[in-house]
Structures are given as C-alpha cells and as structure tokens.
Amino acid sequence: MHNLKNVALKRICCALFLAVSACAVRGIAEPSQSGGVTVIKDATVLTVSRGNIAKGSILIRDGKIAEVGPNVAVPAGATVIDAAGKFVMPGIVDPHNHIASDGGTNEGTVAVSSMVSIEETIDPTDINIYRILAGGVTTVHTMHGSANPVGGMNAVIKLRWGKDARGLLFEGAKPTLKFALGENVKRARTPARYPSTRMGTMDVIRDAFIRARGYMREWDDYRKRTAAGDKTALMPRKDRELESIAEVLRGERLAFVHGYRADEMLMAMRLAEEFGFRIRSFEHCLEGYKIANEIAAHGVFPSMLSDWWAYKVEAYEATPYTTALLTRKGATVMVHSDGAEEARHLNQEAAKAIKYGGLNEQEALALVTLNPAKALMIDHRVGSIEPGKDADLVVWSHHPLSIYAVPQTVFVDGQIYFDIEKDLEMRRQMEEERKALEAREQKSAGTPAERRRPPASAASPTNVPRHND
Amino acid sequence: MQTRVRKITILLSGLLLLSAVVSLSGADSRAYVIRDAKVYTMGAAGVLERASVVIIDGKIAEVGVRVRTPSGARVIQGRGLEVYPGMINAMSSIGLTEVGSVDVTVDTTEMGDFKPQLRALEAVNWDSEHFPVARVNGVTASISAPSGGVIAGQAALLHLAGWTSEEMAVLKSAGMVINFPSLGGGGGRGGGGGAAPGGRGRPFAEIRREHDRRVKELAEWLEKARHYAKAVQANPSTPRDRELEALVPLVRGEMLGLMRADTARDIRNAVEFAKKENLKVAIVGGRDAVEAAGVLQKENVPVILGSVYSLPSRRDDAYDSRYAVPARLAEAGVRFALTSPSPSDTRNLPFEAGMSVAYGLSREAALKAITIRPAEILGVADRLGSIEQGKVADLVVTDGDLLEIRTQVKNVFIAGKNIPLESKHTRLYERYMSRP
Amino acid sequence: MSVQLARLPNDRAPRRAAAAALLMAGLLAFSVPAHTQETAVWAITNARIVPISSPTLEKGTVLIRNGIIEAIGASLSIPGDARILDGAGMTVYPGFIDAFSDVGLEEARPQAAQRPAAAPAAPAWPGAPVQQQPDAEPTEESRGLTPYRQAADMISSTHRKIEPARNAGITTALVAPRSGFFPGQSAVINLSGRAPGQMVVKTPVAYHINMSQARGVGRGYPGSQMGVIAFIKQTLMDARRYEAVWNQYRSTPGVPRPEHSPALEALQAALKRHLPVVIGGDTPVEIERALALAEEWGLNPVIAGGMEAAPLAALLKQRNVPVLLAVKFVERERDGDPEAREELETIKRRVAAPANAAALAKAGVRFAFVSDDMANPRDFIRNVGRAVEAGLDRQAALRALTLTPAEILGIADHFGSIEKNKTANLVLATGDIFASGTRVKYVFVDGQRFEIPEAEAPAERPAAAGAAPPRALDVSGTWNLALTTPQGTMDVTLTVRQEGPSISGTLSSMMGASEIYDGSVAGNRMTFKISFAPQGMGGAVEVVFSGTVEGARISGSASIGEMGSMAFTGTKVPGEQ
C-alpha cells in the first residue's frame, strides 16, 4: 500500500506542472511506438497464403512486412521481439461486426436507408475496439444493422486504438452497402412499415434498384446534354439514398446481404442478376448449404456464424458444417462475429470448421483472415503474411487454432496496439489513477465550493446518450 | 469414383445409424470394453495410460490397465484415443426451449414470482433437437431449469438421451431455482448503478426498499414452509398446500437451492441469506464471484458459473476479466462448475473449460469443472462425474484433448448405451453434401 | 415609486405597474405611465469597477444616461440630474452575457406528426394484415428543417426564466430555437423584460444545427445518429444545388423552373458564410464531427457545448473556432448506489469538467460561457467560479462572461465592457463575483435598475469568514521555494498578493505557471492550493501547500490528496514589497 502511494506520488511529480494530456480525458492509451523497424524472431509463422515457416522471422519496416522467412537478417537498430515457441498469424479480419459506431446501428424508420453511413458515426472511444484487438482482430467491417431491405453504408476500420474516427478508417477500402432479407426486415414495427413479408422485401429492393437506375439515367442525360452545350439542362439532385445504390449497380460498392433462408438468398441472387450486378456476400448465410452450387456459381463470399442455431425460426436449419460444406463446394467462405464477444475468439470459431466438416488448418485460418480480406477487396493489404502487405500481425502463445491460444502482442501497421504485458501495466496505472482521483474528489468535497448546492442537471440537448445499448 | 465412395459411405453410415437406433431402443444390456486408451478417470486413479474401461448393464464394471473382458462384449480399440467422463452442464434450460425467439416453443418462465411447485421435468420435450446436438459433442447430462420470478421452480438433471423424459431423468428435482433479489449495480444491470453520466437510474433507496421487501417475502415463504412441515407432521390431515410442500425439502436442507446472483453484493447477500435460513445452496451465474470469493470460500458455497465467453461488464474491467474468473476462483479455493447455459450452445461446454485454461486455470481443474464438480455440487457424485467402478457409464471417447475444438468425438456412452453420433446437423450435412 | 416598480418580479411588472398606476390615479388623481417613472440618469459612485476593457478602478463612478454609459472614471463630477447609487463596498461588472440559452424564448414545437391521423384501412378479410399506410409527405417543418425560423419572432417579455437569469447578473443572452436539425436563427436579447421589440439586440446572429442526437423530431426518419448526419448533409447538398439551379433558371431562358423551398432558401446565408453556424457538440467525437461538417460544407462554425473540448483545444485554436462553453458540470448522483464502483471514465469526466475552460484558455481558444439552460441561473456563475478554482484565470473567466461573448456574437460595439457609449448593462455585486458569499445586489439592463431581492441571495455561506482578524503576516512578494520530490529538488517561484487574510498569486517553475487559490494567512501559517493536470491522470489534481512563515523564511509541506506529501523550504526575495 505504501509502495503504491509512493509510485503514484512519483508519477504525479513527474507530471507536475506539465500540460494536460490531450488523451487523458478520452482515456485512450497511445499505441506503443516500436520504431520504424521491428523483427519478430523465431516464431512459427502461419502465413495463410504460403504455408507455415517452422522457425521464421518477420521484418517490419514502415508499417509493412518487408521480409518473411527462416533467415531474416536483423538490421541495426531494429526492435527485436523474440517469439520463440510462439505463433504469428496475420491479424484477423472480422467481416461483420457492429462495434465502434454510436447512436444506433439501424436507421430503422425507413425500408430503404441507403443514405446513412456507419463511417459518419465512427466512435473511436468504444472500448470494444481494444477488447477485440486483444483477441487478435486488426480489421473490422463494421456494419449497419439488418432492419431494412436496403440498409446503410458500412465502414471498414483498422483497430488503431487511440486514433480518432478518421484515423480508424481503412484507407482506400472498397465501399460496401448492407441489404437484409428475412425475419428482421419484415418484423412488425411501430409505426407500421412496409414490407411485412419476404415478398414485400424483394419488392422494396427491386423498387430501389429501379429508382436508382432512373436516377443514373437522369444524371447521364444531364451530363450528355451539358456536354453537348445544352444550357437548359437542369442539374439533377444528388441523392444520398440512390447514389449508394447506383454505386452498387456500377460495381463501385459491394453488396453485403443479410440472409438466413436458402429461398430468400437464392431469390436475392436472381434479383441481382436481373440488375446486372453480383452479391458480394451473404451475411450469416445459415441455410447457404442448401444452395451451395448457386452460391458458388454467383460468386458470393458467404459470411458465416460458426455454429449459431435455433435462436429464431430462420436459424433452426443451421448447421455448423456449412462453412466446410460451402468451402468444399467451391465458395470462398469467411467466418464473422456479429458481436464484440464473438469477435474476441474468431480463431476458435475458425477451428470449428475443422471439427465440423474437416477443413485443413490453412483453410480454417483463411476463414478469418485472407478470405474476408478478399471479400472486402483489401487482400492486397491484409489477410496474409507476405512481403509488401501491412504489418498487421498477432503473436499467439499457442497455435491460434488451439483453444489455449492467447494473443500476446498485436500489431497494426507495424505498431503494437495490444501487448499482454503492457495491458497489465495499464491496469495498474488505471487503479492508481482511480485512487488519486477519488482522493482528490474526497478532499474537494470538503471545500465550501463543493458544498454549495450542485446545479440541477437535466439532460442537455447536446448531451443525449451516445451509446445504443 | 468420388461419388461412388461417397454413396457407399452414406449407405454405411445409414446402416450404422439403423443399428445404433436399434441398440438405443432396447434395454441395452450389452457390454463394452474400451481398450488401451488414455483414461481421464477424474477420480482417485487420476489419468491412466493405455487403460481399459469395461461397461456392463449401463454401469462401469471395471477401469484399469488390466481388466477382464466379459464374453460377448463389444470392443472399442482405444489406442490413441482418450476417454473422459461424460460432461455435465450444470445450468441450462435444455428441453424447455426450442427456438429462442418463438415463445410458443419456450417453457422456461411461468407467471408469478413464487412458484416452487413448478417442475421442469413435467415440461421437458425429450424430442428436442438440442439433445442430440449437445450429446454428440460429449455432453451427457444437463440441468434443465425454469427461470422466472423469485422462486422459479424445480430444475431437473437429465441424461441427454432416452425415449422419454422419465428415462432421461437423473434427478427429477435437482434443485430449487431462486433468483435472489438483486440490488443491481455494476455493469449496468439493475438500476441505481450510479455510473451513467447524464442518465439516471432509480434512487438507490427505492431499489433497496424493493429489494428488502422481496428478501423478506422470500424468507416468509421459507418460514411458512417450515411451519407447514411441522403442521403436517403433527396433524396428517392438514390440507395439502402444493406450494409449501414443494419447499419442504429445501428448508430441510435436502434439496439444493440454485441461487442466481451475479454482482458481488448480491452473491454475498445470497450466501448470508442461505446461512441464516439454513439452506444448502449453490450460486448460479456468479459473474462477479471473484469479488465475493472470500465469503464463498469461507461458507463453502459452490458456484455454477455462467458462460465465460462474456464481455467484461464494466468499461474499466480487464479485457479478459470474464475469461479469468475460473482461474481466480480456483486460486481463492472456491468450488465451481463451468456451464454453457444457452441450450443451443450446450455442445460448447468443453470450450468453456478450454478457454478457462487459456486464461489461467489448470487443465485438471477445468476438466473437473465440467465433470466431477457439477456432479458433486448437484449431489450425484456417487453416480456421475468420474470413471470409477460402479458408476453410471457416461463416457466420451475422443481422438485427443477433450477441451480442444479440433478434437473429434469418437464415441459417446450415456448410461452404458453407445449413442449414435448423429443429430439434425449431421443429417442436414450428409443430405446436402450429397446434392449433386 | 419607480424603485418599487423596478423591484417587482419582471414577469408581472407591466401588469402590476398598470395596476399600481391606476391605484395612484384613484388616490392622487393623477396618472403617469409607469415607464416614464424610470430613472434615466444614474451615478454609481464609490464602487470598485471592473470594466474588462480597461484596468480595474478600485474606486470610481459610472454615469448612465438614457440606457447608455455616459462616463466612467475615478473622479467624475456627478451631474445634477443623476440619481446617486452609492456603490461603496460593491464591485461593478459589465452585465453578464449567456452565450446560449433558452431564456425569453417561447418556441412553438414544430409539428412532428409524420403519419396521417386517419385510422388504418380495415383488413381485407378477417385476420388479414392491416394495410400499410403510406408515409404522409413529410413537410420541411415536420422533418426538423426550419432554418428560416427566427428566435427574434419568438421572444416573450414575460418568459418565466428572464427574472431568475437577470437576478444572477445575466443581462444579455443568445437565444435560438431548439427543436429540429436546422431549428432556425438565433438572436441576442437584453433581459429587460420590456416589449420584445425592445429586448432584441441583434438578429439574426447565427444558424444552428443539432447534429449530436440520435432521434428525429417525430417517429419517422431520421431515427438514428447516422440518419441525423445523413439528413443534415443531404440538406446542405440540396441547398447548394438550390442556389445553382435557381441561378441557372434566372440567367437562362428555357430552363425549367425549380421548386421553391423556404428552408433551402434560408440556408444560403449559411453556405455563403454570411452568418456563422452554431453546431452542438460536447465530446471530442461530437466536436470532430461538427468541425468535419463545417469543413466539408464551407460553413463558419461555432461550437456549442464543448464540455469535453479540452483534448481538441489545439485543433479549435488552429481553426479559430469559437466555443460557446457550457459549465453544466456532471455531478455525482446523490441518490445513487453508495457501493457502486464508478467507471474511471466517469470520475475523470467529472473531475476534468471544471478544468476544461482553463485548458481551452491555455490553448488560446476563444470561448464564451453558456448556461446551457441550467435550471438555476445562479449555478451558471457559480460554476464559472468553479472553473476559476480549477485553474482558469479570473480575468479570463470574467472576459468569457462579458467581452468575449460580445465579440463572438458581434455586439462588442455596444456590449461586453464598461465603456463610454456602451449599453448600460451592469452588475453590482457585494464583492468578487466568484467569491463565495458574494451576491448580486443590483442589475442594470439598458440603464434600468433592478434591485435583486435579498431572499434570492445565496444563503449557504456566511460572507467571507466575517471580519478580518487583526492584520496578520504580510506575505506579499516573491518567494523562492525548494520542493523535495522523489525525483529530487525542484525550484519553484511563488508570487503572492495579499488582501487581508486571503492571498492570491502564481506558482511557477521551469515547466509553467499555476494560479494559486484558496490562499490564506492565519497566524504565522500560509496555505494555498494549486491545481495541475499530470499526464495520464485525466484531470486536475490539487496540491495543498501549507507552511510556517518566520520572517523571510518559510518551511512546510505540499500534499497531494492521499498520495502523500513533499517538504518544501523557501525564502522571500528581498527588495520587493
């Protein structure tokens, strides 16, 4: 106790009279700087794309993987991380989650909410960013909910904990749009909302695409007339709702479609074909095994919940074998979390595709790394350990497909954003900080200034609850 | 070629399935010997390398390196395999819940706050798809518990195979489920946490009044039950009261109280209450049990833990705080069982244990927490929970570490019956794998 | 008579004035309209005057004529027609400006209904699902899109909040419609309680955007934070196009006529930066979003709220964005669970709140205090006082209540300081406005005097510990202190000003300076506090210095809560007073 006090006192004295830390109020730890050059040495390297290296090293330079192999020369001045006995794999890419966004994941008031964008409500202070990072995840596709046939625009983020909203965005990631089918969409609402059947759901989606085509035509016409020197052409309205759907039609934005039942997913593929685009992914895809051939033929990247079932009627036919089955039938399959807890052990969820259906280890690891990276078209940057890719890496205590594997160190862009030792240190610091603050409050509670009647604080208009629990 | 092989496989598995169903149907008096396997007895014998287990008439007849093979026994070559006691899930509503979002398939929560007379066993749907899905992963017994009100009713302990719920029942009444009145706080559950900026819960004084009233009411029920028991003894013609009657074994300490409590304060209050009322209890849930470990250890109250696959309940908590609960409890000398409480997740019980090992629990303690510990807590350790002579033959045979996801289950025995490793999921898989 | 009238609660003042006048007429057989009885010429004499724009006059006079400050000085001759108000013992400040409030505004709620009121159509057959009603075409108003609304049109001179605000010393306020995403344009009003037309000082002042909210005005779109932002951006995009297509229409025959929209029309002045846009935001995330919106659309932003703006101080300074700064500090819940373990974030937020203003000031961010509709306006000034205790320079605090808001709101020619020709908005307090025990005794609005009823004065604290004890030690001057820290000795310079038993001043080291507060001298002991915010502590920590003075020497200890304490010794620098 005495010691603790002394440490706290030292810390305070160190900081005495220094400027207020910008991060202090936000409570965000700055990532540890590991310098420009780092070498992770002597680990079992699971590259995912190019097999395993039994005793390999990875050279990280300027946030990128510079070299991987059994014999990597350590440049002078490099930070060396001895990972002997440990395992390194690419940072996990979670293709479907809802973290790091505030004020609601659904714009549920309308059937078509393609005007809204998760990117505009990124909340970099969401503690789940850190928690998931500690589970080895480095990239997340954080998505609009499934309340609307045509949902909102999603965001791809890197878990650069401590950075601001813009700093989290995955630069240059292909934009995506959420769609949803089935129970969540047709569920009764107050006030009532069309659609309330799967038929109506298809109708709303078809209508949205027809409107988007009309919108594109309107703009094409305007551009043509303007180019021809026609000064009487009136500029059409830029419409966020139709713009994002038009982008899907033009192939500039990927369609991620929430679907459970085989029939609704099959029909959605047909609808997409009707409008000349491809569905990029079926989210959850629980009955995808029934239409494996069609899924493979259409080129969908099925995005699976590993072994969830029976939580609703449309999940009653789910099986944990679907991931393996779809893989065997030729689809590029991924496993997602759909939640902050599940995201913390996606390595285990991937291992379930070995248990149920017999994928091999490389195939299983790809489910949560390379495959989602491909689906999101960011595989040139992340998803495997290859020279030139981002140094998004996880050092594990055991083979990541083992239940005993615990992430030790997590790199994003070559920076350490989670380290199990530093985490312990941070906890100690937080405890000290709490004690110091509580002591201070205790003390000032005794001063007359504080004894005054406190202001009655009603919720201010600028201070509404920020989190949608 | 490929297709033909597959067809043959399917045919074979179909035949196997048929025979398995047949074997399940009759009184399975057949004897089995699992030979030369690594046997985790979870009993005094510890782990036996290259040992054999003999099953006769549903019981474990012999365990050891040298055993006598009864004539006509079916032999399972266990070389390279591992044998564990069947896993026991000490908290669930399996059999009472089919599809979570469809209330007509859910029979967990009755109206009213004090319903000690309700019996889970009387509502268990033995044809629930959840039973086969759970047992093929090696979970052989589970609690099936009601959940509503303050006294929710009586839980049953079920074997996860049988023609009827009566056949499945290990204990018709395994414990009285009591949702101990909560004072809330911590982790945003209940009101009055006082931590939410801007947002305000109910005044704490109000919560406490409500809580105290509830606790008093609960005590009053117990008092009435004691009185009732005396009255019946003194005067056998005392009119029957089905509610109080149900509470008599509890107040006599003959029935386990399954006291749901999650915050440290609620746990402490529940333990204190049980002590005062002379109840034999286990804490169910126990989210913050680490903070109440002292009293749990001192009063020797075991904990039936909720899923460790949980987010920390507070922003400040360590990211792994829930994963590490079992390790912390073990360090503090608190007895506990691990559970996978959602019926559809029952099959993940071994992974609850595995995850606990990853975050600090010894592997041995983790194995115990899903076998012998729940058996002890539920009072059936004389029959279940370990591989020892005379015990019920609930076994799981694997090709590796039971706690590892990649491990495959090779055989499951429930009460000596060799259970076909087949479920709705395997059936759908087989069917659609064969779609051309 | 006039005094009595002026003392009447303002919301009833006109009616009572009329009633009193009638009574007079009956009794004395003459009648004079009430307003002519206002004293037009005042001389506030012998008062300590804090003009803000110039140094404090320890003893001076302010002359008011017809609502305007005629003169201010140490030795003015009092005109014969002036009514004298003896300001001895009182401090005169410019009237305080609440830079964002709902005082005096009677806002009609925009019609929120988004669905037709008609009953849903009957089912086609028994048990058939009820036919879905199509959305009623939402109006601009129902969607919270009313940038054309003017606060100046909504002023109520009898508004219940005017008198309590004025009693706290607030003479002027920025008021804006609140509901909707583009609720309208704000006005500055003077809290005289006269006719609305006489209250309005400036209109329009700014546009307002409510962005940090997760709900719309009705039950329809938008219903989430995402939706709100999308709606706002779509509206600004539409407004941009609106200008373009109308220009095209006006200049080019043959162009089809675009649709008229009052809302998009009204937004043009915002897009052209003719008026600033006030955007609400308290947390760094909210403020970042507001700044990004302004940047994207070329708006001239002002942040309203800013309760947790400190981490963004540098950015706000760099972009020269003013902040209408709320001081509605979060308090610990009084009726909460005593055993609840609060989140560190919550404690940090609470501890850091009062120090927020100081951090902004240090970074050079322009800010004006706002009450943010606090239930009790007195808490507004009190909490500014807490910001001072937490390290905000007293003078800066006063400025953020007076001249800075006047500058931000574009009314500094007439408001914000005690200067010749400025509006006679004044506060007469019984002492330092931030000192406990001080009460506001008189308020002048447009030269009209309001005597603040005693009963309304804070009764919590007796005035400054009663009479000063016999003059004790004089510690004024500069002291060199050596502080023994676990890292070694640290040299610190203490500059002290003493007024009776209380001391103020600064404590500085090579790392910067801190204002000292709660300083006092009793017997031969000198005590004072400083507040500083060490890295990673998430808020200010208080250090209490306490030492024994013997001649020119001092020795004592500096304690940091329960963390422990450090010894210090020091000597007074000779040659100074």
- pLDDT tens track for A363-399: 999 999 999 999 999 999 999 999 999 999 999 999 9
The beta-carbon neighbor of B406 closest among A293, A351, A427 is: A351
CA A166 to chain centre: 14
A-B contacts at Cβ under 8 angstroms: 116
What is the structure's pLDDT at B201?
61
The beta-carbon neighbor of A455 closest among C220, C233, C379 is: C379
Over 80: is that where the pLDDT of B172 sits?
A: yes
Q: Residue range A192-209: average pLDDT?
A: 96
Over 90: is that where the pLDDT of A116 sits?
A: yes
Contact C346 B195 (CB under 8 A): yes
Distance CA C533, CA C512 (A): 12
Q: Residue range C13-22: average pLDDT?
A: 44
pLDDT band at C7 (very low <50, low <70, confident <90, very high): very low
More confident residue, B119 or B30: B119
**Most confident of the following: A33-42, A155-164, C32-41, C465-474:** A155-164
pLDDT band at C338 (very low <50, low <70, confident <90, very high): confident
Over 90: is that where the pLDDT of C168 sits?
A: yes
Minimal CA separation from B289 to chain A, in Å: 20
B198 touches chain C (CB under 8 A): yes
What is the structure's pLDDT at C4?
37
Over 60: is that where the pLDDT of B164 sits?
A: yes
Please give the residue of chain A at the shortest CA–CA distance from C360. Answer: A20
Distance CA B366, CA B357 (A): 7
Please give the residue of chain B at the shortest CA–CA distance from C335. Answer: B203
Of A110, A113, A112, the C-alpha closest to A121 is A113
Distance CA A272, CA A282 (A): 12
- Please give the ipTM for the structure prediction: 0.91
Question: Mean pLDDT score of chain A, rounded to an integer?
Answer: 89
Contact B355 A312 (CB under 8 A): no
Minimal CA separation from C224 to chain A, in Å: 5
Total-model pTM: 0.84
Over 70: is that where the pLDDT of A419 sits?
A: yes
Over 90: is that where the pLDDT of A281 sits?
A: yes
Contact A436 C541 (CB under 8 A): yes
Distance CA B88, CA B85 (A): 9
Burial of C102 (0-12, 13-18, 19+ CB in 10 A): buried
What is the structure's pLDDT at C140?
76
CA C498 to chain centre: 30
What is the structure's pLDDT at C518?
80
Over 80: is that where the pLDDT of B185 sits?
A: no
More confident residue, B202 or B354: B354
Tokens standing for residue A167: 């700093």
What is the structure's pLDDT at B29?
52
Over 70: is that where the pLDDT of A181 sits?
A: yes
Minimal CA separation from A81 to chain C, in Å: 27
Comparing A419-433, A443-457, C396-410, which segment has the lowest mean pLDDT? A443-457
Contact A449 C221 (CB under 8 A): no
End-to-end CA distance of chain A: 37
Minimal CA separation from B100 to chain A, in Å: 4
Q: Residue B286 is inside which H or E element, if any?
A: none
What is the structure's pLDDT at C321?
98
**Partners of residue A134 in chain B, C-beta under 8 Å:** 319-320
Minimal CA separation from B194 to chain C, in Å: 5
Contact A21 C533 (CB under 8 A): yes
Contact C512 A18 (CB under 8 A): yes
Q: Are strands A79-82 and A37-46 parallel, antiparallel or unpaired?
A: parallel
Q: Residue range B156-164: average pLDDT?
A: 97
Over 90: is that where the pLDDT of A242 sits?
A: yes
Distance CA B410, CA B420 (A): 10
Please give the residue of chain C at the shortest CA–CA distance from B189. Answer: C340
Over 60: is that where the pLDDT of A450 sits?
A: no
pLDDT band at C218 (very low <50, low <70, confident <90, very high): low
Q: What is the pLDDT of residues C247-266, one digit of tens each?
A: 999 999 999 999 999 999 99
Over 70: is that where the pLDDT of A349 sits?
A: yes
- DSSP letter, residue B394: -
Question: Mean pLDDT score of chain B, rounded to an integer?
Answer: 91
More confident residue, A444 or B22: A444
Minimal CA separation from A107 to chain C, in Å: 5
What is the structure's pLDDT at C16?
45
Q: Residue range B293-311: average pLDDT?
A: 98
Question: In this structure, which amino acid lies at residue C426?
Answer: L
Q: What percent of chain B has pLDDT over 70?
A: 89
More confident residue, C158 or C119: C158
φ/ψ of residue B120, rounded to 5: -55, -40
What is the structure's pLDDT at C10?
42
**Partners of residue C339 in chain B, C-beta under 8 Å:** 185, 265
C250 touches chain A (CB under 8 A): no
Over 80: is that where the pLDDT of A32 sits?
A: no
Q: Residue range A257-262: average pLDDT?
A: 98
* Interface mutation vs chain A, best among C535, C545, C565, most A CBs within 10 Å: C535
The helix/strand/coil state of C62 is: strand
Comparing B243-257, C319-333, C525-539, which segment has the lowest mean pLDDT? C525-539
Minimal CA separation from B429 to chain A, in Å: 6
pLDDT band at B237 (very low <50, low <70, confident <90, very high): very high
Distance CA A350, CA A357 (A): 12
Comparing B165-169, C309-313, C374-378, which segment has the lowest mean pLDDT? C374-378
**Partners of residue A430 in chain B, C-beta under 8 Å:** 316
* Interface mutation vs chain A, best among C98, C102, C225, C249, most A CBs within 10 Å: C225
Residues B82, B52: contact at Cβ < 8 Å? no
Q: Residue range B364-386: average pLDDT?
A: 98
Q: Residue range B160-174: average pLDDT?
A: 97
The beta-carbon neighbor of C340 closest among B194, B197, B200 is: B194
What is the structure's pLDDT at B380?
98
B99 touches chain A (CB under 8 A): yes
Over 90: is that where the pLDDT of A443 sits?
A: no
B199 touches chain C (CB under 8 A): no
Q: Residue range A429-440: average pLDDT?
A: 93
The beta-carbon neighbor of A457 closest among C331, C380, C382 is: C331
More confident residue, B365 or A440: B365
pLDDT band at C406 (very low <50, low <70, confident <90, very high): very high
Q: What is the pLDDT of residues C420-441, one digit of tens each?
A: 999 999 999 999 999 988 999 9
Contact C347 A18 (CB under 8 A): no
B358 touches chain A (CB under 8 A): yes
Comparing A81-95, B270-284, C6-20, C182-196, which segment has the lowest mean pLDDT? C6-20
Over 50: is that where the pLDDT of C34 sits?
A: no
Comparing A114-123, C349-358, C556-565, which segment has the lowest mean pLDDT? C556-565
Comparing A77-81, A118-122, C159-163, C531-535, which segment has the lowest mean pLDDT? C531-535
Q: Residue range A290-316: average pLDDT?
A: 97
Over 90: is that where the pLDDT of A191 sits?
A: no
Minimal CA separation from C190 to chain A, in Å: 23
Contact C342 B194 (CB under 8 A): yes
pLDDT band at B6 (very low <50, low <70, confident <90, very high): low
Please give the residue of chain C at the shortest CA–CA distance from A188. Answer: C129
More confident residue, A448 or A308: A308
More confident residue, C373 or B161: B161
What is the structure's pLDDT at A1?
37
Over 60: is that where the pLDDT of A157 sits?
A: yes
Residues B64, B35: contact at Cβ < 8 Å? no
pLDDT band at A192 (very low <50, low <70, confident <90, very high): confident
Q: Residue range C513-524: average pLDDT?
A: 80
**Partners of residue B210 in chain C, C-beta under 8 Å:** none
Please give the residue of chain B at the shortest CA–CA distance from A425. Answer: B318
pLDDT band at B405 (very low <50, low <70, confident <90, very high): very high
Residue C9: is the preceding peptide bond cis (ω within 30°)?
A: no
What is the structure's pLDDT at C539?
56
Distance CA B199, CA B192 (A): 10
Q: Residue C131 is inside which H or E element, if any?
A: none
What is the structure's pLDDT at C534?
55
Please give the residue of chain B at the shortest CA–CA distance from A327. Answer: B433
Minimal CA separation from B203 to chain A, in Å: 15
What is the structure's pLDDT at C533?
61
The helix/strand/coil state of C237 is: helix
**Most confident of the following: B204-208, C20-24, C319-323:** C319-323
Q: Residue range C199-213: average pLDDT?
A: 94
Contact A312 B100 (CB under 8 A): yes
Question: In this structure, which amino acid lies at residue B378?
Answer: L
What is the structure's pLDDT at A16?
34
The residue written with tokens 């393996």 in the block is A324
B3 touches chain A (CB under 8 A): no
